[in-house]
Structure formats: structure tokens, C-alpha cells
Structure 1
Amino acid sequence: MIIACSKKLAEELEIKPLAGEPDSNPFFRWSANVVTINRRKAVVAVCDSNRFGFVLYGMKIKDFDHFSSIFLDELRATLLRYGIRPELVERYVPHDSEVHYIKLSDKRSIARMNRAVMLSENFYDELTPGSLSQPNVTSKINEDFVSGFGKDFNYPYRLFFSDFRQSYGDNIFSVKAVDLTVTLDLQRYTAWRRLLIPDCFTFERVHQVLQVAFGWRNRHLYEFEIFSRQQGHLRLVADSEELYSFDANEKTLFAAEKVLSDCIGSCEGFTYTYDMGDFWEHAIKVNGIVDNYDKNFPVCIMGEGNAPPEDVGGVGGYMEYLDILANPEHPDYQALENWSIMQWYEDFSIEYINRRLGYIVIGSIEKVY
């Protein structure tokens, strides 16, 4: 592994890096700099072939003394957080690998690294003292659109995955996923989706998946209710004091505090309710576990039926809405059709849903609705 280090980082490491190696493979070459954020030293590193990177925050003298091992350990941890297969992580970053330091001199690499540094500084309030690893800010760096890599604008993490596939083949991910059938009862018919969701997703992330799968727009609060003989009744709610309760007969947590794998084993069933006014209740059935899921994002594998538009007035309002749209002679037909367009009301399309689900990746905190 090659690290092209800035003059500041070289001074911190007390080394004299060699001249650059312009012919080295940029996929195995990382540019790194040290900056001060909130009076703490941070190292920002990016891969030269795609600007995928990570942040180490709160670096001290003893950490710079062991910088090579800390850098490699964090690189491994970052790749594993994105769901890359452990054996491929080991091939990319072997535990016996050596780090070679060179001078950071390439202008394009400097510009890309500086962009990552700027993002780290912009999100200073999300840096967490007490831990060198900073997953949240790392995600921010990797979800910032980039260009200039011979492709259209794209995310650094997607460019990194593409480069990784070129080196190690197409099958680079391996995670556990939960096979769920989610059904929305609409009286005359049902809208349902069968989804494969990584089991490391928080329920806040599952909420995002369901928003995409049913075409909701995240305009309202939500909650999950989980029923288990072992754990009793558990409510997982949106990050809002309006829904948080202190009822002694039930346990309430924020949805971001629990992951799927925490609850699936003992779960007898659960529901997802969106919009406490229209009250869209989705019944969720667990079909099983996929042990070697080869993606790091959810997919919709089956489905049927349109979900209602936002703010249509609950099930009763939706039935009236469908009756009016079925009758072009109705006096409210044109107004309701125009309103539907404003609501982005669309027919169910599994292809469109999966295109959007592809952006809800493990390791990412990007919100997709």
C-alpha cells in the first residue's frame, strides 16, 4: 500500500517520503493530510483512483508513532462497514502488508484530497471525540458527487466499488439479509412488496427502504411495533418527542437505536405505521434469512399494487380518490388528476424502485426518499 502524504503529515510522522511513483496503480495509492478540527488533529485519506476515503479524528503523538497500522486497520474497518467480503478485504489490505510513503505532489490528487478535507471541516459537529474512527463523516465524504474519473458525476463509494470489481471480480459483497413481505391493506385490494434487506440496517434505515418501496415521500412520522414472547411489545419510533412515550407496559426506543438482527430472531410479527393522520399500517412478515446475500443494498424481488398518494385522507379518502379518477366525467376529475401529478403519484414499477434502493447502501447515511 502506498500513502502519498502531505508535508504536514510527513512532519507529524517524522519521515522523509520518497519521490512519487507516477506509474503506481492509483487504486492502491492513497493521499493523506493532517489538519486541525475543533482543536484536535484529524487525518483525511482518499484513494487516488476514486476519491473514496475515511477520517481519523483525535490523533495524538502515540497514534502517529503507529500510523501505518492504524491507517490499515481503519481502511479494513471501512471496507467491512460497506459490506465487502472479508476475504477480499484481506487481499486488498493484507495483515502483513507494508506501507510505503511518497511525497504528495500530483495536483489532481491534492485537489481531491482537499475536497475531502473541506467536507470533514464542514461536518465538524458530527465528529465524535474519543474514537479515531468516524463512520458518519466518512460517509459524508463518500456521498459527495465527484467527476473527473472518466465517468459522469458519481459517488466516491460507487466508483470505489467499480474499481474493486475490476480487481477482484463482480461478487464483492457478502452480508446477511432478511426476506420480508410487507403488505398495505387498502380494503378493495392490497399493495405488497417482497424485500431483501441487510440485517445490519437500523429500523430508521428500514423506514427509508419502505418509503421508497411504497412511493411515500417522508412527510410524516412513523413507528414500528414489534411483538415477541421473549421481549414483549416494543415500539420503535421516528426521532420525535411526539411519538416517544414512557408507558410502563411497553418499551419505546428511537428507530435508529435498533437493527433488524436485534429483533428478527424472536419476532412473531411486526407492523410499520406511516402518517399518524392517514394511518397507513403495513403488516410485515418475516419469510427467512439469506446468509450469503451478494449485495450491500436492499432489493425488491416481487410486488403488486399501487400505494396511495400522500395526504389523500386515509383508506376512505383513497377509495373516493380512485372512484373519481375512474370517471373522467366527474366534476373533480381534472383537479384531482393535476393534484396527483403534484404528489408524484406513480404506478408500481419494480425497476424504478430498485434503482432508488441501490442508493441505500450499508455504511452509508444518505437519506433516499
Structure 2
Amino acid sequence: MSDVLEFRLVLRDVSPLIWRRVHVRPTMTLAEVHEVILVLMEWSDDFLHRFLLHGRTYRVWRPHAPEGQDARSVTLADLQLCAGEVVRYEYNLLVPWTVNLRLKTVLPERRGRTYPYLVAGQRAAPPEDLRGVGEYLERRHWHELHPPFHALKDLATAVQRRLAGEADTDNSALDEALERVSMYVQYTSTQLNISKLRQALLALPQEAQE
């Protein structure tokens, strides 16, 4: 059986912490790690990114990408990381969002498990198109001060009308209420839909353990 690497991913400069704990194979390239981070943070890959370690830059080439080594040709094993060592990942370089990938330990593969595998995590990541941590914290603070009580009331009323057979032809108000509640949950909830993210990881190219 082969080994897997356990990383703890933490979004920098945000408190309370937004974090993920994930198991990956050392044969995974940095380009593949980039795809994993996008899934774990629910980002879309619309922006440039790079990895930074020991003064070196790694990235997947695209127009206007920063100079650096091709992330498709470098594996985690190539980096020869020690426990506790941190690889810095930056996304949306105009901001940027910075995720620290800290190698926690090396573990034996679990038979029948597919990798990468999300072990645990807390809190949704910020929307990727915000102008940085400052805007994210301002929006989170606003949502914390303004729970969506009216939106919840609108949703309850809509459900009651549906159950009574009084379906509305105009769903715009309902859509607005759902969006308001969804944004509140995204910015304030400590919970993370682990099952949903695990399913998304399964859609990435991977190899099941024999």
C-alpha cells in the first residue's frame, strides 16, 4: 500500500478560520492540487493562480499568468516537504486570496478509498470575485447584524400558500427571499457540506486504491 499526505488548508487573514483537512496522494501534480482547492473552496477557476515555495513559483500557463515553473510537471513528492512545512497558494492575483497548505502528516492509504479525500472542514469560502478579505469581512459583519427574518417569513408564507394550493405565478419575491437566506448562511454558518464537497472531488480524475 502507498502513503497519502494529510494537508490542512487555511484561508489567510480571516477569523474565525476557514479551513479544510484533506488527504491526497504524493503523486498528485500541483496543477491537480489547484483543481482540488477550487472544489474545496467552491471557486470557478475564472482567475489566475500560483503556488509559492522556497522562492519558487509554480502555475498552470494561460495568458497573463505569472512567470514560473509548469505546475503540471511538478508533483507533491517532488517538493520533498517535511511535516509542518507550508506551501502558499494564491488565487485571483489582483486580490489575492491566499490559502496556506500545511503538511500535517503522512498516512497509509485506506483500502477502497478514493483520493483526494476531504476529511473535515468549517465555513464556506468567500465568493471569489470580491475585492479581498476586507470586503468579505464587511459583508459577513453586515449579515451577522441583519438576520433574514423577513425573508424567512416570506418563505414560510410561500410554503403555506403552496400547501393550500394557492400557487403564485410570480416567483420573483420567493427567489429574492431564497437568495437572501442563502447569502446569510454562506457568510455566517460554521457548518460545511462535507458530503457535497466529497462528491465534487469524486468528479475529478483520480484512481481508486486497489
Same fold (TM over 0.5): yes
- What secondary structure is seen at the aligned counterpart in 2 of 1:194? strand
TM alignment of 1:101-120, pairs within 5 A: none
2:60 corresponds to: 238
Aligned AA for 1:290? L
- What secondary structure is seen at the aligned counterpart in 2 of 1:190? coil
2:198 corresponds to: 354
1:178 corresponds to: 5
Aligned AA for 1:274? Y
Aligned AA for 2:78? D
Aligned AA for 2:74? K
Work out whether residues 297 and 359 of structure 1, in 8 Å CA contact, stay in contact via their aligned partners in 2: no
Deviations 1:243-290 (A, max 9, x none): 342xxxxxx212111111111346842111111122110111111222
Asked if 1:187 corresponds to 2:45, the answer is: no
Deviations 1:23-58 (A, max 9, x none): xxxxxxxxxxxxxxxxxxxxxxxxxxxxxxxxxxxx
- What secondary structure is seen at the aligned counterpart in 2 of 1:311? coil
Work out the number of aligned pairs and report it.
177
Deviations 1:291-346 (A, max 9, x none): 3343342111121122101212210110121123234499xx998x848969xx58
Distance 1:311 1:179 in 2: 29
Distance 1:263 1:187 in 2: 27
1:264 corresponds to: 80
Q: Alpha carbon RMSD of aligned pairs, Å? A: 3.2
Aligned AA for 1:276? L
Work out whether residues 30 and 72 of structure 2, in 8 Å CA contact, stay in contact via their aligned partners in 1: yes
1:317 corresponds to: 135
Distance 2:26 2:58 in 1: 16
In the TM superposition, residue 183 of structure 1 has moved relative to its aligned partner by: 0.5
2:164 corresponds to: none
Work out whether residues 175 and 293 of structure 1, in 8 Å CA contact, stay in contact via their aligned partners in 2: no
Work out whether residues 201 and 362 of structure 1, in 8 Å CA contact, stay in contact via their aligned partners in 2: no
TM alignment of 1:31-50, pairs within 5 A: none
1:255 corresponds to: 71
Change (3 A) 1:320 1:256: same
Work out whether residues 175 and 296 of structure 1, in 8 Å CA contact, stay in contact via their aligned partners in 2: no
In the TM superposition, residue 203 of structure 1 has moved relative to its aligned partner by: 0.7
Change (3 A) 1:328 1:269: closer
Distance 1:280 1:244 in 2: 15
TM-score normalised by structure 2 residue count: 0.71
Change (3 A) 1:286 1:262: same
Work out whether residues 237 and 255 of structure 1, in 8 Å CA contact, stay in contact via their aligned partners in 2: yes
Asked if 1:306 corresponds to 2:128, the answer is: no
- What secondary structure is seen at the aligned counterpart in 1 of 2:109? strand
Q: Which runs of 5+ in 1 are unaligned?
A: 1-173, 228-232, 246-251, 365-369
- Bigger relative contact order (CA 8 A; separation at least 6): 2
2:162 corresponds to: none
Work out whether residues 178 and 198 of structure 1, in 8 Å CA contact, stay in contact via their aligned partners in 2: yes
TM alignment of 1:1-369, pairs within 5 A: 174-227=1-54, 233-245=55-67, 252-265=68-81, 268-294=85-111, 295-328=113-146, 338=179, 348-362=192-206
1:29 corresponds to: none
Distance 1:310 1:289 in 2: 31
Distance 1:340 1:219 in 2: 26
- What secondary structure is seen at the aligned counterpart in 1 of 2:19? strand
Q: Which runs of 5+ in 2 are unaligned?
A: 152-172
- What secondary structure is seen at the aligned counterpart in 2 of 1:210? helix
In the TM superposition, residue 241 of structure 1 has moved relative to its aligned partner by: 4.5
In the TM superposition, residue 234 of structure 1 has moved relative to its aligned partner by: 2.0
Deviations 1:162-212 (A, max 9, x none): xxxxxxxxxxxx543111011002433220111001111111110111111
Distance 2:61 2:141 in 1: 36
Distance 2:147 2:38 in 1: 33
